[in-house]
Amino acid sequence: MAKLKPRLLFLLAALLSGLALPGAALAGKVYLPLMQRQPLPTTAPGCAVGQQEAVVTGIVDGDTVDVRLGSSVYRLRYIGMDTPEMPGDCYAQEATERNRQLVLGKSVCLEKDVSETDRYGRLLRYVWLPGGDMVGAILVREGYALAFTYPPDVKYSSLFVSLQQQAREAGAGLWSACTVQPTPTGQPCSCAGDLYNCGDFATHEQAQACYEHCLATVGYDIHHLDADRDGIACESLP
């Protein structure tokens, strides 16, 4: 046994140092020096098929960010929702800060709908967090954003509409902190999202004008004012 001690000491020293043993590997494994071992990955897990992984490098406002894809940085606009963003707009600062909390410095997954970019050259994407939550959906659900449906990018429009209704009923975020006045001057109503129900109109004539305006603007009854789909909005109104 005494003759084995030097060999055992050598084996022990080799294992502790992480050196490969000369001539063979232990149990079929090759031990590399510790300095050569690669660190564990710290980025987000892989994205779903058809999605791209990116890193958010900057926050513009509540619905727009800068992302790094490969070696390039792009400005990106979330699809399906819209946040207050102009200086002085109610809840603009809160929406921007919430967006910052959600994504800044993080690896995210980008999903394209139909359009590549908007008229300003910004990428149009749904942005997903590593845990599987869509950033835009979170912002609408928590009352930082309004549903914004703009064809042809309508894959999740029903989801955004449902989340907005939940936020509105709960008085979440801007729904209680702000007076939501989405109607543009000179137009019967806004078609930026499912913002109204029949109770928001005093007469059938007002509701019908909004219904027809949005049919012409976005191509469908975005406010769901025509429940029986007979072309007449809010028939119960005077």
CATH of the domain at 87: 2.40.50.90
Instruction: Kindly report, residue by residue over 178-190, the tens digit of the pLDDT.
Output: 987 554 545 778 7
- 159 and 99 belong to one structural domain: yes
| Domain-located, residue 85 | yes
Rounded to two decimals, the pTM is 0.62
Together in a domain, 163 and 207:
no
Q: Which two tokens stand for residue 133?
A: 């939550």
Residue 227 has pLDDT above 80, yes or no: yes
79 located within any domain: yes
Pick from 145, 177, 209: which residue ends a domain? 177
Of 41-45, 99-103, 208-212, highest mean pLDDT = 99-103
Query: Are 164 and 108 in the same domain?
Result: yes
Domain assignment present for residue 29? The answer is no
Look up the domain containing 92 and give its range. 52-177
Contact 193, 160 (CB under 8 A): yes
- Please give the positions annotated as active site: 77, 85, 122
Q: Which of 124, 152, 129, 150 is nearest to 139 (CA)?
A: 129
Considering its fold, how many domains does the chain have in total?
2
- Does residue 152 carry a pLDDT above 90? no
By three-state DSSP, how is residue 75 classified? Answer: strand
Which of 149, 177, 205 is where one domain is finished? 177
